[in-house]
Structure 1
Amino acid sequence: MELGPMSFLLMLFCISALLIKLLKLNDSSKKSKKLRLPPGPKPWPIIGNLLEMIANKPTLRWIQNIMNDLKTEIACIQLGNVHVIPVISPSIAREILMKQDAIFASRPLSWSSKYVSSGYLTTTITPFGEQWKKMKRVIVEELISPKRHQWLHDKRMEEADNLVHYVYNQIKNGNGLVDLRHVGQHYGGNLIRRLLFNKRYFGNGSEDGGPGAEELEYVDALLLVVRHIYAFSVSDYLPWLRWFDFEGHKKILKKATNTIKKYNDPIIKERIHQWRNGTRTHQEDWLDVLISLKDANNNPFLTMEEIKSQILEIAVGTMDNPYNNVEWVLSEMLNQPEMLQKAIQELDIVVGKERLVQESDIPKLNYVKACLREGFRLHPIVDFNIPHVSMKDTIVANYFIPKGSHVLIRRQGIGQNPRVWEEPLKFKPERHLKKDGCNLTLVEPNLELFTFGIGRRGCPAIILGTTVTVMLFARLVHGFTWIPPPNEPVIDLTELGRDTTKAKPLVALGKPRLPAKVYHQLMN
């Protein structure tokens, strides 16, 4: 059921008036009067600051403005009976995610996360407990171990080759203009389908190596789930309103999730049938690994629903960061071509011009990785990480954090924190280079920028995430020359209003820069 904003506000005021005399503050609220909560706007009884949130969309900008106005690195915004704690200080983030990691290791209970995970059967968005421990062990030990990473090397390289093949065809068959957001998104989509299902396309794809209608629909659905799963829905903070869909998030999430399942689930069902009847006996991808896992009694370790749900979560979780990072970095460097030239020079020294970049080159590409780190610092895909939930009352930075609080590490707030970074709004890859010239990584253990996170809930796929991001950027920069399009001499770096993605997709004029034989080998 959907209600208009005015109807919702009227209903909310009526309900609040009826309940305000009936409800008492809980124990943690009483305690918070004795111990100081982080600074924030004064909440209304029952509804907290929900009215202000509704009136000041998008929510991320509203929270940014609150913290700026209060000149604070940690705040408390009460939404319903939930204390939302945004943080932009690396030292406070370390206290939460390292020193008190065990307290903040859970996730919020919400309609959206429950629906997408089929009742919390997965890893990333599942609250702390035995199911989370079980699925995390599967991910870490069975899917993304160094041994498995090497096992899937050839599949990753096939998609890196197809990336160059597709861009080369777009340049040769068109006017040279390439939508690099589209290219990055579908490189990520192809890659995850290859790792999960050992297939690039659900349908026939396109002759030039690009996506077909099925892949376009699938990737769009994945990105919709990313955008809406923790989207500050009113009903997530007032449980007695969960039957309503005030913002329309539920409708969008249901449609997007069902689209993903439409493609995933038939493959999973058929593959399970093949393993059970003995027509399939050899592991080729992650799906085979999940199906093949056995318990102590030699029975399947995972149910079909667990496999379906985890596959969906993996597909959603691997889509957004690489393409967003590379699009922003290329945009920044097209406006500062001397930096782009430095990256090209490093690639030519390490790789040469007679072959394409390989994964084995990554340790030597320090300037390339410095550029990508700077992209993560300035332009994260979303401002907030997935919320952490405090499992008991605690003290952080001398402030009281009640049990059940949702802690949001503001990635862009940390990355642009002027107490940490000089000229925080300027794109300067050199700031990440080490004087000793040793292997630079995309990991940031001090949380002075947010890449893979840290602690129990940090992203475990560091090797894979690094490989995918570096290969996408390096193949584009090494394989092609890029300049701004004729009608846009300076690339527009404006953010989209609703989030931190680039408002306009990056379209650039490209041409091949390596000998023709390098590309012709891919055609064959």
Structure 2
Amino acid sequence: MDAFLLREFGVAVLIFFISHFSIRLIIRSSENLPPGPRGWPILGALPLLGPMPHVTLTNMAKKFGPIMFLKMGTCDTVVASSPDTAQAFLKTLDHNFLNRPTIAGATYLGYNVQDLVFANYGPKWKLLRKLTHQHMLGGKALHDWAHVRNSEVKHMLRAIHECSKQGELVEVGDLLSCAITNMVSQVVLSHRIFSNKGLESKEFKDMVVEFMTISGVNNFGDFVPLIAWIDLQGVVGKMKRLHKRFDGFLTKIIKEHEKSSHEREGKPDFLDILMANNGEDPSGERLSLSNIKALLLNLFTAGTDTSSSIIEWALAEMLKNHNILIRAQKEMDQVIGNHRLLVESDLIKLPYLQAICKETYRLHPSTPLGVPRVASEACQVNGYYIPKNTRLSVNIWAIGRDPNVWSNPLEFNPERFLKGKGAKIDPSGVDFELIPFGAGRRICAGYRMAIGAIEYILGTLVHSFEWKLPNGVDLNMDETFGLTLQKAVPLLAVVSPRLFPNAYI
């Protein structure tokens, strides 16, 4: 009897899904939806995306156009793959796409959507954004913390210089992750949390990479909620285990910080300010401990990984195109010389370095599909109907490689940003040909810090050292997809000093 009932239940569920799917197809056929691929029953286009969805969606856009509509499980999804369509969604209709969809990553890694990245647009999000802007990521705050960046870059240079003296290979990603994490921690916690080299910092970087990789997985449960409890891919289980590790890390930080609060009387750091807002803000909003932990998680993951991956890609491209490295060094030698280190005030005089950074954003955007958004109401875009609750992905990777926008789009050529229209392109969300940090009101909160840090750190590395690949090692430029775009094979390099010895002291 039990087997009979189970079989009957299974048949009923199957009939429900097939009829529900068929009815939705009939209804959708009467609406002027954007074109897109036919997906599988129930799962929709999910099985079509493969391990590199940004590449798959780019190829699909060549067939279906710059606005595509896909059924992803039971969820409607629209993908924008050109500057014009990105502008239509992120500028013209920005007010309708301010919220994020509810997904497992935000729930199990982001303290149940309590963070700055995935929280719904509203009073709590505005408070988090205001505090980070005023005290850490805004123009005045960045100016005030310039000495921290300078100090940490010098720590990194000394570590690299020591590698060169010992004949050791430089693990570029690990050193960058350590340096940028320490920049963040000095502002947030008033001290460096990692030494330049060590097991602890390597383990933390591995956690961050795992965080970004698993956050970018197309989890079936996010798109077919009825089967989410099964966790077919084991994604939720991995997220829960990783969250436990990060929560232990953050809890330890907060407890140690509270014990030393008397040492910072009159000179609060960012965590002190956040803890003070654990009480009531003048706006009436209150930050919970979960809000504070979730924001710290944003800063120590997205805030560090995006910048370090861009710098690693840029160095890899220069090792692949050695003439670009030589030209960048020549520009810096003319402006700075070889008796001192690069300082941030030099950057405005280094247009070729800035062009290298822009070209890296174009070919290797840190978030290839951006962070998803969701339509609060139904709307029209370029004559197409976009239903309410449709999820939006902007294929930043595709825009950067669009032959209708860029000549020879697969070539790494910084000169395209030195003349004509290219010289005026700004990567801070105003020119939709190049939006590595997104655009609109939900642009990456740390884009100013990222742009400045990337130029400063990359410029310092290129100016201070000669860079070569180890003998017998071929340069691997393959990608690993996640919320951020990592190098599949981390960059290892042989370095040697190119400045006078006193410059490194």
TM-score normalised by L of structure 2: 0.90
Q: Where does residue 390 of structure 1 map in the other structure?
A: 375
Residue number among 229, 233, 243 corresponding to 2:219 in the alignment: 233
Aligned equivalents of 1:486, 1:457: Cα separation in 2: 45
Matched, 1:494 2:491: no
CA deviation string 1:468-497 (max 9, x = no partner): 111221111011011232213x63323347
Q: What is the correspondence of 1:7-406 to structure 2 with a 5 Å cutoff?
A: 17-20=14-17, 23=20, 32-53=28-49, 56-68=50-62, 70-175=63-168, 177-201=169-193, 205=195, 209-210=196-197, 212-272=198-258, 275=261, 280-293=264-277, 295=280, 301-406=286-391
Percent identity, please.
Answer: 26
Report the alpha carbon displacement of residue 18 of structure 1 after superposing the two structures with TM: 3.6
In structure 2, relative to structure 1, the CA distance for the partners of 1:67 and 1:14 (3 Å cut) is: farther
Counterpart contact for 1:108–1:389, Cα < 8 Å:
yes
Counterpart contact for 2:374–2:392, Cα < 8 Å:
yes
Counterpart contact for 1:363–1:439, Cα < 8 Å:
no
In structure 2, relative to structure 1, the CA distance for the partners of 1:170 and 1:240 (3 Å cut) is: same
In structure 2, relative to structure 1, the CA distance for the partners of 1:461 and 1:220 (3 Å cut) is: same
Counterpart contact for 2:99–2:374, Cα < 8 Å:
yes
Aligned equivalents of 1:111, 1:358: Cα separation in 2: 42
Report the alpha carbon displacement of residue 218 of structure 1 after superposing the two structures with TM: 1.7
**Deviates most, 439-448 or 128-137:** 439-448
Report the alpha carbon displacement of residue 35 of structure 1 after superposing the two structures with TM: 2.6
**Deviates most, 85-94 or 504-513:** 504-513
SS at match of 1:511: strand
For structure 2, the residue ranges without an aligned partner over 5 or more in a row are 1-6
SS at match of 1:119: coil
Aligned equivalents of 1:232, 1:13: Cα separation in 2: 26
Report the alpha carbon displacement of residue 196 of structure 1 after superposing the two structures with TM: 2.0
SS at match of 2:78: strand
SS at match of 2:229: coil
SS at match of 1:482: strand
For structure 1, the residue ranges without an aligned partner over 5 or more in a row are 1-9
Aligned equivalents of 2:173, 2:494: Cα separation in 1: 13
Q: Where does residue 3 of structure 2 map in the other structure?
A: none
Counterpart contact for 1:114–1:120, Cα < 8 Å:
yes
CA deviation string 1:264-285 (max 9, x = no partner): 212213434655xx66423353
In structure 2, relative to structure 1, the CA distance for the partners of 1:121 and 1:477 (3 Å cut) is: same
SS at match of 1:20: helix
Report the alpha carbon displacement of residue 442 of structure 1 after superposing the two structures with TM: 4.0
